[in-house]
Chains A and B, each alone.
Chain A
């Protein structure tokens, strides 16, 4: 047994011990898919740096100690949730403690007809068949052991289903609080978002920590967009120094569907994100953006994969990173244009600002084009603050530190400014600003 397989053993054993307690256990199709995922986890183990997709990301911070899967029944104080709220944000909200939905903390009053916003476990218990059918559909092949782990434990998380033609006028916020169970726990939320033909919604997925306990959050979101459906999605990863995070975002788009996703990673410890977008039918459009900060000794890895599977689809991707201290970031952006995906129009860019000589970025934009009539562009940049701009600000009396911060913030602003609603944008901007001043102390991952 390799080291990587052995790292998976405690999680395989934990799943086996608790399989019968998972929501809707006994539903044959669900049991089967959990078992299949468990087998993949056992066989493939957790990823290692020998794996090309993990070349620059070591999972040592996670394997150094064990995490026990959190169990339902955990709560999070009303006071904490209120204190963590986004100012002036008018939204429906589901709250999760270590991955478990807290119905008594959630606000779903006034949801229009034809919209379901609920805990996944609750929905699985009531009517598993339609959910089980669609779990794993957006993801397709599991990218690695962590997604297999999430799938083997699949139970709670958020279910958002919007019927065809329904347009929501307020966003839905999914608030995930890690570390509620105490030291050393693992949360495994699984979210399923289904937008019917012509429907419209905004979803905010926000990850925060309760306290400073060491925890691992392995979260996976699957999104299925019907014809001409529009989803505005923002994932804010804002956990504490000792919360490790593995995030999965998988989306399938039908004809003329539109998906705008922005992932903001505050980067305090160790984060790995995998996004996989499948443009499955003509006229679909995806906008996949991200901003990440990596200060102290933290590590942020974004792997994205956009697949143009049909003609005349468009995609725009822009990830921007700010790295300081001994921060390390990885960007690997793959765009695949399948042979019949003619008239594809795709642009990808990754821009990085390095504020210290010890910060490190490994960036790998990758285009794979199998069609001949396409328009694709990609590029990556790594740079420092513009000295001319810095002098301009300083010559107006602004102190050097503030000037650096203003320019750094301006660099990230290009991504933040596209985030809606404005209450969320303002919140994220102020969170980013507080991260930039002062740069976080060099502790986090050792």
Chain B
């Protein structure tokens, strides 16, 4: 699904990723953990195609295609989804307008017809249930005035609507209380499938109690220092990130 080789990225001339390798197979859930400033969010943003990140070396291949040469909108249409760490508030653009535009852009891209209003609404209602969101959210401006939990649920709701092949969830657990965390995790779990890969970028192990990963990677200093199964996350939680440095050294 996703194959990252020797990825080096700088931001404002400062090296953030220093030769990162990562392979995520279809249907797999990978957790990327690491201390603040380790490059976790940079990785998420580079996959989504955000400006301001300069790739100086390496490759990112998504379903056999060179992801880095694609515009962000094309990545989204091809099935890449980023759940933002800080979802942007967009006054004046209704949630439903964004979803309709995004969904239909992907359908046109795949050579499918656009959904008519009725089918669209049917789909929307079905997906809203997944994250326990009320229909009124559809008609509100994107994220405007949403609580932290509502913003994160809205990200998962969008993911459910767009049905990506690869979803990168950037610190989706941050700022959530336990109930909101369970709701969000429940939504993500419902979206797990054989042909959908998920990358969970997180600082804490807590999220992984609810979304159990196939693989766990520890990112530090712009490189993956250690990979393992879910036990690695538990060890990290117990011993702290300092432990990795000593192990790696």
Q: Which of A6-14, A183-191, A359-367, A398-406 contacts B (4 or more CB under 8 A)?
A: A398-406
Question: In this assembly, does A395 line the interface, its C-beta being within 8 Å of a C-beta of chain B?
Answer: yes
Query: A400 to chain B: which residues have CB within 8 Å?
Result: 71, 73
Q: Are A397 and B162 neighbours in the complex by a CB distance under 8 Å?
A: yes
Within the complex, which residue of B76, B106, B109 is in contact with A394, where a contact is CB–CB below 8 Å?
Answer: B76
Chain A's nearest CB lies how many Å from the CB of B177?
24
Residues of B with C-beta under 8 A to A410 = 90-93, 141
B contact residues, total (Cβ < 8 Å): 32
A398 and B142: CB pair below 8 A? no
Known contacts A398-B98, A398-B101, A399-B73, A391 near B142 by CB under 8 Å: no
B139 CB to nearest chain A CB (Å): 13
**Most A C-beta atoms less than 10 A away, residue of B48, B90, B91, B142:** B90
Closest residue to B158 on the A side, CB-wise? A396
B128 is an interface residue with CB less than 8 A from chain A: no
Are A414 and B162 closer than 8 Å at their CB atoms? no
Chain B residues, CB < 8 A from A392: 84, 87-88, 90, 142
Within 8 A of B (CB), among A384-425: 386-389, 391-400, 402, 406-407, 409-411, 413-414
In the complex, which of the residues B48, B71, B77, B92 has the most CB atoms of chain A within 10 Å of its own CB atom? B92
Restricting to B62-78, which residues have a CB under 8 Å from any CB of A? 71-73, 75-77
Interface size on A, residues (CB 8 A): 22
Given A388-B88, A414-B91, verify A395-B162 contact (CB < 8 Å): no
Contacts of B142 in A (CB 8 A): 392
Beta-carbon contact of B92 and A397 below 8 Å: no
Q: How far is the CA of A150 from the CA of B99 in the complex (A)?
A: 51
Residues of chain B lying within 8 A (CB to CB) of residue A387: 51
Q: Which of A391, A397, A407, A411 contacts B103 (CB 8 A)?
A: A397
- Which residue of A387, A392, A400, A406 has the most chain B CB atoms within 10 A of its CB atom? A392
A397 surroundings in chain B (CB, below 8 A): 73, 76-77, 101-103, 105-106, 109, 162
With most chain B CB atoms within 10 A of its CB, the pick from A392, A395, A402, A414 is A395
Evaluate contact between A411 and B102: CB separation under 8 angstroms: no
Would you call A393 and B82 a contact (CB within 8 A)? Answer: no
B-chain residues with CB within 8 Å of residue A389 when the two chains form the complex? 88, 90, 93
- Chain A CB within 8 A of B115 CB: no
Is B129 engaged at the interface, CB distance under 8 Å to the other chain?
no
Dominant secondary structure at the A interface: helix
A406–B97 touching, CB < 8 Å? yes
| Distance A393 CA – B89 CA, assembled complex (angstroms) | 11
Q: List residues of chain A with CB within 8 A of the CB of B90.
A: 386, 389, 392-393, 407, 410
Residues on B with C-beta less than 8 A from A402 are: 101, 105
When chains A and B are docked, how far (Å) is the Cα of A411 from the Cα of B84?
23
Query: Is the CB of B49 closer than 8 A to any CB of chain A?
Result: yes
| Residues of A contacting B73 in the complex (Cβ-Cβ under 8 angstroms) | 394-395, 397-400
- Asked if B125 is at the interface of the complex by the 8 Å CB criterion, the answer is no
Name the CB-closest residue of A to B49. Answer: A395
- A411 to B103 CA separation, bound complex (whole angstroms): 23
The answer, yes or no, to whether B50 is at the interface (CB within 8 Å) is: yes
- Write out the residue numbers on chain A whose beta carbons fall within 8 Å of the beta carbon of B91: 410, 414
Contact A396 B88 (CB under 8 A): no
Q: Which of B72, B84, B99 has the most CB of A within 10 A?
A: B72
Cα of A394 to Cα of B49 in the assembled complex, Å: 10
B residues within 8 A CB of A411? 92
Question: Smallest CB-CB separation from B78: which chain A residue?
Answer: A397
Q: Once bound together, how far apart are the Cα atoms of A395 and B92, in whole Å?
A: 18
Most buried by A among B51, B87, B88, B99: B88
Alpha-carbon gap, A388 to B45, bound state (A): 12
B residues 34-51 near A (Cβ < 8 Å) are: 48-51
The answer to whether B158 and A407 have CB atoms under 8 Å apart is no
What residue of chain B has the Cβ atom nearest to residue A416's Cβ?
Answer: B92
Asked whether B93 lies within 8 Å of A391 as measured between CB atoms, the reply is: no
Closest chain B residue to A400, Cβ basis = B73
Min CB distance A418 to B, Å, is: 13
Which chain A positions have C-beta within 8 A of B98?
A: 393, 396, 398, 406
Chain B interface residues toward A at CB < 8 A: 48-51, 71-73, 75-77, 81-82, 84, 87-88, 90-93, 97-99, 101-103, 105-106, 109, 141-142, 158, 162
> Lowest 8 CB-CB distances: which A-B pairs, in order?
A410-B92, A396-B102, A397-B76, A397-B102, A392-B88, A413-B92, A397-B105, A410-B93
Q: What are 8 A-B pairs with beta-carbon distances under 8 A?
A: A389-B93, A392-B142, A395-B73, A402-B101, A407-B90, A409-B92, A410-B91, A410-B92
